[in-house]
């Protein structure tokens, strides 16, 4: 009976090693929401940057206090940030219009 237990343990050990290797290869992504704004700070692979949805707003920051610096940058209301947000919203609006046109064309083709 003791031999069976030993065999089971030996069979499971290679799988455990494989899982540890896979977890080391995983990419960790951290998100920090900026209060009362549509912005987030994304941190991965030792750098952080600011985003709004799927759109990057800031450069990659590799400094020691990167999350704090990017957060402070996103909290500032500058003309540059206002223009960025307007351009992003315009692009999203255009994408939504294209989807509506495609849906309309699909409906007319079916009739």
- Beta-bridged to residue 51, according to DSSP, are 40, 56
Separation CA 16–CA 42 (nearest Å): 31
- The predicted-structure confidence for 6-22, as pLDDT tens digits, reads as follows 544 444 445 545 555 55
Q: Smallest Cα–Cα separation from 54: which of 88, 25, 18?
A: 88
Q: Is 80 exceeded by the pLDDT of residue 2?
A: no
pLDDT band at 78; cut points 50, 70, 90:
very high
So what's the pLDDT on residue 9? 46
pTM of the shown model:
0.65
């Amino acid at each position: 009976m003791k031999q069976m237990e030993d065999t089971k343990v030996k069979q499971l050990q290679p799988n455990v090693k494989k899982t540890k290797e896979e977890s080391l290869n995983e990419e960790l992504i951290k998100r920090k929401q900026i209060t009362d704004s549509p912005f987030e700070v994304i941190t991965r692979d030792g750098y952080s940057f600011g985003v709004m949805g799927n759109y990057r707003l800031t450069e990659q920051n590799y400094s020691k206090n990167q999350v704090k610096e990017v957060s402070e940058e996103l909290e500032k209301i500058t003309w540059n940030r206002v223009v960025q947000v307007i351009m992003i919203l315009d692009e999203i609006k255009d994408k939504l219009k294209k989807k509506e046109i495609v849906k309309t064309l699909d409906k007319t083709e079916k009739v």
